[in-house]
Structure 1
């Protein structure tokens, strides 16, 4: 399972690696404060943990799934649920 932290647009190689877990979409979590994205892995929480380990704060993280063919973004992620 490969998770990339992206500070710039993804390369073709990075996109292909992130698509290994799910053939038609990429699980992503974005840190809106740092303006970085973690993508890949089996679940959104995999990306979330990667960003948290990298210094992100939970309040700044939002999850989505992205389909590179249709360019659709789905914001259905448990990462987005806030207990407040």
Structure 2
């Protein structure tokens, strides 16, 4: 189940998003609205939830949040978009990467998951 996070997530929401993959959360981040969707097996499902919520595709970028060491992997197939000069799964523009990082840290960062 995808959760759309518009303000600081609760520990329960982070734990719920972690249930899918256990050790990390796939997220799609709308860099204009400052929101994210997470908790599914593929970034595309998170992206679809944001699109249904009114986000523009050009504003959505995929990443993985690894809460155990508080890191972000900026790779996703949804990031391949030559029309925006991003020809890789990696977010190549440092400004976009910084915005994605800031939104993730503000909305879901800092939580250390409960050990199962």
TM over 0.5: yes
Counterpart for residue 75 of structure 1: 74
Counterpart for residue 54 of structure 1: 53
Q: CA RMSD in A?
A: 0.7
* Structure 1 alignment gaps of length 5 or more: none
Q: Secondary structure at the match of 2:82?
A: coil
Q: Which runs of 4+ in 1 moved over 3 A?
A: none
Q: Following the alignment from structure 1 to structure 2, what is the Cα–Cα distance between the partners of residues 56 and 78?
A: 18
Q: Following the alignment from structure 2 to structure 1, what is the Cα–Cα distance between the partners of residues 36 and 57?
A: 14
| CA shift for structure 1 position 83 | 3.2
Q: How many residues align?
A: 83
Counterpart for residue 7 of structure 1: 6
Report the TM-score, using the length of structure 1 for normalisation.
Answer: 0.95
